[in-house]
Structures are given as C-alpha cells and as structure tokens.
Amino acid sequence: MKPRILLVGSQGYLGSRLTDYFQSMDYECTGTDVGFFQYGALYQPQPVRFLGKSAQEITQKDIQGHDVVIQLAGISNDPFGNLDPKRIYDPTRDYARKIAEICKNLGVRYIFPSSCSVYGIGEGQLNEEGPTNPQTGYSLNKIQIEQNLAQLADQDFSPIALRLATVFGCSPRIRFDVVINMLCGMAVTQRKIVLNSNGEAWRPHLYIEDVCEAMRCCVDWDYRDGKLLVLNVGRNDNNWRIIDIARLIQEQIEGCELSFLNQQPTSDANELVKDRKVQDGVDKRTYQVNFDRIHKVLPGFTTKWNVEAGVKQLIEDLKRWQLDDIKFRQRDFYRLQQVEHLLNTQQIKF
C-alpha cells in the first residue's frame, strides 16, 4: 500500500506539480492551502482532496490517517518594504514547528523543503556539513525551521530537510520570479532577455521533475535514524553562472536579444523582473553547492535533468501552454508582488 500524503501548501509552484505527480502514480494525496496563489494558473492541475485550511489552522485531526506530511507552506521572497522580517517569518516558523510536533505525536513522517539559499555567499562547492550564511529573512527562516526540527528529532521522530537548489520548470502554478523560469518566459513572449544584475553570480539549479523524484524517494523511504537528515537536492554540473544560462536560453529562441536592467529605461514592466536584493547591478549572493550526499544516501534517487535539457523542455512547455506577454506579466506568478497586493488591499496582514 502506497503512503498517504498530506501536502501543506498544495496550491503553490511545487505543491500543484507534486499533487499531479503523486496522483499520476496512484498515491493518495490530500492538499491544503491558504489560497494566495490559487488564481495564478498557467494550466489547471488535477483535482485533489482539499481541506481548504491555512497551515496555521491545521489540527491533529487533519493529520491523522496520513503517513507523511510535506510542509511546503511558507512565505517566500523578500524584502517587504519596511516590515519587520520577524512579523513575516516568525509565524511560518511557529506553524512549521506545530505541525512537526503533531506529526511526532502521531508517528507521521515529516518532510520539509528547505533551500540552498541558506548558503548565501561562499567559496567552493558547499555541502551539508559546512557553515550556512543566509543573506535574507527568507533564508534565515529556513535555517530556523531546520533548527527546530533538529531539536524535535529523537528515536520516534526522524524528519528530513531537503535543501533544494533553485527550482525551474513547468508547473500548473508556475513562478516567473525564479531565474530560469523568468528568463525563459521573457525569451518566449518578448524575444528578449533582461538581466537584473551583471549575471556573474553562481547558483545551483534543479529541474522540477527531479524535485518530484526526490520527494517520492523520501516518501517511500522509512527513514528512522532518530535525527534530522539534511540533504542538498541537485546535481553538481547544474551549478551555473546566471549570464551563461541567459546565453543558453538566448540560443534557443531565434532573434532573442540579451541586455541588462540598468541599461533599460524605467518602466512598470521592468518592476516584475527587478530584484530588490540586487544593488548597482551586482548580486552578492553567489555560491555553488555539492550534491554528493543525496545520491549516496537517498535510496533510488538520481537526478535526470541537466540545465540544458531542462531549459529546452521548459521552453517547449511554455509554447505548448501558449504563454503570451499578458499572461507572463500576471501578478499571481510573482510571489512578492502578489503578497504585497494582498497586504495593501487588506486581504492579509502581518
């Protein structure tokens, strides 16, 4: 019998793809989500049993009957104007811990998608044993949740934290505010790529189907070592400079131009591609990551997609779903802009 999975945050970029993925393989899935991004759909995901609760509202009754919880819900992207990061991220830390505590009490396994952004700035290929250097409230929040899980872990509770490289690839609720998705979206809809930095920063990248495989392998694995297991998820040859990815994408689209945001006239359209953490055309967040451990430790897991193959597939998918410039600029596909809209219209508050 396949494990029964509760995905907390099922209407996001990863959640909507994971529910489709697991259900296509006959896993029994339940989703729940607060609904911030429910209308930002490139195409409609398959129906899933849905609780309709926010992560803060999850109770023991909701988790009972499941074998695994995947804790996807959280606030991503910052900064949010002058708001105190603690007001934004402390609730995420609190409900992640509460859900983990319920899982521990019920004997339910817990998987937390963390982020390689916790490394922030570093030399060489960074691994799970080395120091972290978070540069944003978002990355610090990931580390804090990992720390809470490490404290909760014991012989009866063995959580897994998957530090994902920067994910790209198609999903029902795709994000266009992650680098490869954004650059491919520009190229397909406008035949031009605008970089918001000089492109010299290094990043590790991860195709979304490899994320799904990593999650499936964790779900199927009855890990019980009595401590938090931290795994970087990706592949070593997917550490790329942004400028090199931009040139790769440019080659895939005939007549595509490449330029830099600081060379462009100011416009509302450019606000979607602008990264507020990039100052004077330089992105100080630059790091490469080592992914040896996951391929040695996680049973059955292998990464199948390199950057070149993933970019080619993403461009094909965007064309198949007839992405146009209007759709590409839809606010719901950009996390920071959508959350700020909900905040400014008093639909949410921090």
pLDDT digits (tens, 9 = 90+) for 79-115: 566 677 788 888 999 999 999 999 999 999 999 999 9
Query: Does residue 211 lie in a domain region?
Result: yes
CB 239 within 8 A of CB 125: yes
Give the angle subtended at the CA of 208 by the CAs of 271 and 143, to the nearest 5°: 75
CB 10 within 8 A of CB 72: yes
Number of folded domains that form the chain:
1
pLDDT for 301 beyond 80: yes
Query: Does residue 275 lie in a domain region?
Result: no
Percentage of the chain beyond pLDDT 70 is 92
Complete edge-to-edge strand list for the sheet that includes strand 166-168: 166-168, 202-207, 239-241
pLDDT for 266 beyond 70: no
pLDDT for res 265 = 52
Query: Does residue 44 lie in a domain region?
Result: yes
pLDDT for 32 beyond 90: yes
pLDDT for res 272 = 59
Query: Does residue 318 lie in a domain region?
Result: no
Helix and strand counts by DSSP (H, E) for the chain: 12, 14
Instruction: Over range 66-87, report the average pLDDT.
Output: 80
pLDDT for res 309 = 98
The mean pLDDT value of the chain amounts to 92
Residue 229 has which token pair? 């297991």
Pick the residue with more confidence: 347 or 162?
162
SS3 31: strand
For residue 109, the enclosing domain spans 4-174+205-239+289-305
pLDDT for 78 beyond 90: no
Confidence grade of residue 347 (pLDDT, cut at 50, 70, 90): confident
Residue 166 has which token pair? 């920067």
What are the E-state strand segments in the chain?
4-8, 28-32, 49-50, 68-71, 109-115, 125-126, 160-164, 166-168, 192-195, 202-207, 229-233, 239-241, 257-260, 288-289
pLDDT for res 343 = 85
Query: Does residue 170 lie in a domain region?
Result: yes
Query: Does residue 52 lie in a domain region?
Result: yes
Confidence grade of residue 261 (pLDDT, cut at 50, 70, 90): confident
CATH number at residue 47: 3.40.50.720
Task: Tell me which amino acid residue 348 is.
Answer: I
Query: Does residue 125 lie in a domain region?
Result: yes
Query: Does residue 346 lie in a domain region?
Result: no
Tens of pLDDT, residues 240-258: 999 999 999 999 999 999 9
Least confident among 122-136, 164-178, 269-283: 269-283
CB 104 within 8 A of CB 71: no
Pick the residue with more confidence: 339 or 202?
202
